[in-house]
Amino acid sequence: MTNNMRESKYKRFIDLCMIPVKRLLKPYSSKFSRKDYTQHQLAVAVCLMAYEDKVYRDAADFLVEVKEYLGFGENVPHFTALQKFLRRISLRLLDFILQKTYEMFFNTKIANIGIDSTGERTSHASPHYMKRMKRKSRRKDYLKHSIAVDTTQQAIIVAKDRRSDAHDNVDFKLLVKRSSDIVDLRHVVADKGYDSEENHRFVREDIGAKSIIPPKWENIPLSRTKGKYRKRLKKYFPKKRYHRRSMNETVNFVEKTKFGDELTSKGWWMKKKEQRLKDIAYNIYRHMKRNGNALFVSAINFLHILIFGSISSKIL
C-alpha cells in the first residue's frame, strides 16, 4: 500500500470521526485549560489509536504522520496527554459517540438487530505460556462484551461491558431497550443463550418487535415447553430470518482481527473505555468500507458546495 493511499484512508477516518466528536464535545474542558490541544483533536487521536491497534506510546509517534491534518502542527501531544484525556471523559460520552457513528448508516429508522456477546482478553500473558506452565486463566481476566448489531447495515448500535464472565441474559433487556431508543425495532435475533419467556415477552409486548430466539432444549416435546412465545417459536421457527444473527459473529470477528482482541489498559474502567473506542473505530471503518473509496467523500463535498455554497464543518 502506498503512502498516498494510507494518507487518504487516515484522512477519511479523521473526517468521519470528527463529525460526532464536534457535536458532543466542547473545544476545551474548562476555561482554565492550557488550550494546547482541543478535545476534538484528542478524541480523534485516541480513536485513531484504537483504529491502528496501538498502545499510548506508539500512538503518539504514529500521530506524526497525520499531525498537519489534525491541526497539531509541530506540537504533537505526549502519550500521557492521550491517557489523561481518556481518563477524564466519561464512558457515557463514548456511548453517545458510538450512537452518532451508527446514525451515519441511517437509510430507514426501522432496523433488525442481533444480540450477542464475546470475551475480550485483558491479560498480557501468552496462552501458549499459560498452557506450558499448566496455569489456568481466571474468569475475571476476561471482559464480557455484549453488543446490539444492525444486521442489515452490519454496524454496532449499542454495547455493554462487564468485568466478569456473566450470563448472556444479564444485559439482554438493556441492549434491546437502548437500541429501541435510537431506532424502531422490527426483529430481535439472539442465540440459545438468551432463551427465556421473559425475554420474548419484553421484546414483543414492551418494545413491540418480534423476538427470534431458538429454544434451548430442542428435544423436549412441544407439550412440555413452557411459555406461549417459546411454544410458538418451537412450532413455527423462521430459520431464514434467524440466520441473520451471523452478522454478530462477523462483527466480533472483524473487530478482533482488525483492532486486536487484547485490552492493554490496567484499570477496569479504562479497559471499558478502550473497548468502546474499538466499537467506535469499527463503525467508522465499516462506513468507509461500505461507501467505497475516497471519491465518495469528494462527491459529498462537491454536492454540498452546489447546494449550500460552502462546506460545513459538521458535514462531509
The pLDDT tens digits of the residues spanning 173-211 come to 999 999 999 999 999 999 988 988 899 999 999 999 999
Q: CATH assignment of 104-262?
A: 3.30.420
The model's pTM: 0.83
Q: Which residue has the cell 489498559?
A: 265
Can you give the pLDDT at residue 5?
Answer: 46
CA distance 285 to 301: 19
Task: For residues 205-228, give the mean pLDDT.
Answer: 80
Instruction: Copy the grid coordinates of residue 195.
Output: 432463551
What percentage of the chain has pLDDT greater than the value 70?
81
pLDDT at 254 over 80: yes
Four-residue CA torsion sign, 100, 292, 116, 135: negative
pLDDT at 54 over 90: no
Can you give the pLDDT at residue 129?
Answer: 65
CA distance 52 to 62: 9
Give residue 155's pLDDT band: very low, low, confident or very high (50, 70, 90).
very high
For residue 92, the tally of other CB atoms under 10 A from its CB is: 7
pLDDT at 139 over 80: no
Average pLDDT, rounded, for the chain: 82
Query: Which stretches of 24-174 are assigned E, i.e. beta strand?
Result: 110-121, 142-150, 155-162
Can you give the pLDDT at residue 292?
Answer: 62
CA distance 210 to 199: 11
Which residues contact residue 14 at a Cβ distance below 8 angstroms, ignoring those fewer than 6 apart?
44, 48, 66, 69, 70
CA distance 21 to 88: 15
Helix (H, G, I), strand (E, B) or coil at 292: coil
Are 281 and 51 within 8 A, CB to CB? Answer: yes
From its phi and psi, is residue 35 left (phi > 0), alpha (psi between -120 and 50) or beta? left
Give residue 94's pLDDT band: very low, low, confident or very high (50, 70, 90).
very high
CA distance 179 to 115: 10
Can you give the pLDDT at residue 222?
Answer: 64
CA distance 285 to 89: 23
Which residues contact residue 90 at a Cβ distance below 8 angstroms, ignoring those fewer than 6 apart?
none
CATH 3.30.420 residue ranges of the chain are 104-262
Task: For residues 25-44, give the mean pLDDT.
Answer: 88
Burial class (CB in 10 A: 0-12, 13-18, 19+), 96: middle
CA distance 237 to 215: 10
Question: pLDDT digit string (tens) for 260-307?
Answer: 888 888 888 999 999 999 999 999 999 998 876 444 444 444 444 444
Can you give the pLDDT at residue 316?
Answer: 31
Can you give the pLDDT at residue 88?
Answer: 92
Helices (H), 166-267: 172-182, 197-201, 228-235, 239-242, 246-259
Task: For residues 57-82, give the mean pLDDT.
Answer: 84
160-164-170 Cα angle (round to 5): 50
Instruction: Copy the grid coordinates of residue 264.
Output: 492493554
Can you give the pLDDT at residue 214?
Answer: 87
Are 172 and 148 within 8 A, CB to CB? Answer: no
pLDDT at 314 over 60: no
